[in-house]
Each structure stands twice: as structure tokens, then as C-alpha cells.
Amino acid sequence: MKEAITVSVTGAAGQIGYALLFRIASGSMFGPDQPVNLRLIEIEPGMAALEGVIMELDDCAFPLLNSVHGTSDLEDGFKDTNWALLVGSVPRKAGMERNDLLGINGKIFTGQGQAIAKAAAPNVRTLVVGNPCNTNALIAMNNAAGVPNEQFFAMTRLDENRAKSQLAAKAGVHSSDVTNLCIWGNHSATQYPDFTNAKIKGQPLTSVITDQNWLEGEFISTVQQRGAAIIKARGASSAASAANAVVDTVSSLTTETPAGDWHSVAVCSPGAYGIREGLIASMPIRTNADGSWSVVERVPVDEFSQGKIDATINELLEEREAVKDLIPA
């Protein structure tokens, strides 16, 4: 048996947590021969519900689940962890401005960044899901002294999966036939699902889907507004699909990317594509055979794409400005 991987999940009793933990414990995230330890973190009011979730995990008798531990103490929760999945955050309430939300959640992520730096394993990788996830990741990264910036990520995979599904439906193919789809920028309504470089069964997507008006209009807005459409239909925000995207993100970051393809995840920008160094921005990423990641270079960016990328990066710069007090110099 391999040595167990330790995974910490915040907001573990929330709806994404409920859809995610059972996937991790069953082997979907790290494969069918990789045992896991789960360290589940909730705030005090969530601890009773978390006890129930832990009882259910026990009742699954998962062969790969080595141990489960629930806590509201951050350093305990991140102790020796290899993967910190930061899902919990405070939802936006009626009357709350975007900057209020940035400030409230920002404070959570300073503490979590510090605790990760103090308690986690040296190779810890952190994936932020809780919104606004790019800027929360920026804050956590800047407060985790000693943890390399390359080990911080924010999730845009749900957007990639949504975009692939829309494109596949339009072209009458399976979503797995759509490759080279990149989400640029922020996980917000300004994100840009870049169809210009996408392929269908290896062919340029724009030679298969020739309705440029649909691509530039309805397609982009459907992907950007998909979260809101699900809330309207379901009365609650996306949870199972978000949890699935967490599984996909970690899986893509731990397995070599198929030749010629890429995947979307927000990383600490190394300055690629003119995106300010140090911002947490989504771009085309490859995972290498040695487990490291790199930005895919020389992906063509036409004038239309550049305008969309500029808009979403500007929003990230504004968010960064709004939380600058939470980022140590």
C-alpha cells in the first residue's frame, strides 16, 4: 500500500464539501490505489453538521480512507497536509457590496495562509474554491511565508467544463471531443472562455462551429452566467459540479497533461501574456511529467481575445487594490 496523502478541506460541512469528500475518499481524486487522510475544517457553528458528515464517511467503510479528523482549529486542520482545499467562505448577502465581501473573506484567508505555512507539509499545494477565489488565493499565498507561490491555485475548472459542455452541445459531439479550451483571468462574470484556440476532435473549433455571433455572444455569456442560472433553477448554487471540478483540477495537477492540450487553473502569474506578475490569474497550464506545472506559451491571442483578457485582468487588479492592506509588503 502507498503512504496516505493528507487532504484538508475547509467548509467541509457545506454543500460543496458534502459532494466532494465522498469523491476524495472513494479514490476519484488520487486514483484507486492511493489511501487518503481527511482533515476537515469548519467554523464552530458548522461543527455539529460536520460530525454528521464524518459519521456518514465512516458508514461508507471506504477502503482508501485511512483516517478522518474534524476540527475548527486551523493549525490542527492543516497539520502535515499535502493538499489544502479551501472551500469555506462567507456567502455574499443582500446589500453587501463586492468590496465588503472581499474584505470579510480576505481576513479568513490571511489566517488560513498563515496556518498553512506553520502546519502543513513542505510540499503542500493549496487550491482555493471559496469566492472570490482568485483574490482569496492571492491573500492566502501572500500570508503563507515560506511556501512557494507555485503551490497556490484558484479554481476555474468548473468554467472550463461548462464551456466544453456548451461547445460540444452546439457541435453535436461529446464534451471529451473538445480540447484546448482555456479560461482566462478571474473566476467571475468577466472570465473569458477562449474558444479561438479550442479544438474539436483535433480540428480548429471555429471550422466546426462557424456561427461567430453565437461564439462571441451567447456562448460567452452562457458560461459567464451559468452559476446564476443554476441558482435560479435549483434554488442553491452549484455544488456537485463544483466538487467535480475540484476533483478534475487536482487530478490534472497531479497527472501529466496529454500532449498538445492544456487545462485551466488560476496560478500565480509569472508575467506570461502580459498578466501582472504575482496576480492569481487563470491561463493555459500544462502539468509536466515531473509533477511541476508551466504556462503554455505562444497560444495565439487575437484582438477580440485580448480585449476580453484585459477586462478580466483589470478586475483582478481592482480586487487586489481593494485588499492591499491584507497583503504584507
DSSP class of residue 185 equals: B
Closer to ligand NAX by Cβ: residue 188 or 305: 188
DSSP of 40-54: EE--GGGHHHHHHHH
Detail the residues annotated as belonging to a binding site.
11-17, 92, 98, 105, 112, 129-131, 162
Residue nearest to ligand NAX (CB): 14
Closer to ligand NAX by Cβ: residue 44 or 59: 44
Closest separation in Å from C-beta 88 to ligand NAX = 3
DSSP of 202-214: TEEHHHH---HHH
Closer to ligand NAX by Cβ: residue 48 or 212: 48
Nearest one of 209, 180, 188 to 300, comparing CA atoms: 180
H/E stretch holding 83 reads strand 83-86
Closest separation in Å from C-beta 303 to ligand NAX = 28
User: Which cell numbers hold the place of 109?
Assistant: 484567508
Detail the residues annotated as belonging to a binding site for substrate.
92, 98, 131, 162
H/E stretch holding 264 reads strand 263-268
The CA distance from 137 to 302, in Å, is: 29
Closest separation in Å from C-beta 199 to ligand NAX = 24
Detail the residues annotated as belonging to a binding site for NAD(+).
11-17, 105, 112, 129-131
DSSP of 268-311: E--SGGG--TT-EEEEEEEE-TTS-EEEPP-----HHHHHHHHH
Closest separation in Å from C-beta 47 to ligand NAX = 9
The CA distance from 159 to 253, in Å, is: 17
The CA distance from 57 to 251, in Å, is: 21
Closer to ligand NAX by Cβ: residue 88 or 284: 88
Closest separation in Å from C-beta 211 to ligand NAX = 27
Residues near ligand NAX (CB under 6 A): 10-11, 13-17, 41-43, 46, 87-91, 108, 129-131, 133, 155, 158, 187, 227, 237-239, 242
Active-site residue flag, 69: no
Closer to ligand NAX by Cβ: residue 91 or 274: 91
Contact by Cβ (8 Å): 284, 192: no
Among the listed residues 69, 174, 187, 263, the single catalytic one is: 187
As annotated, the active-site residues are: 187
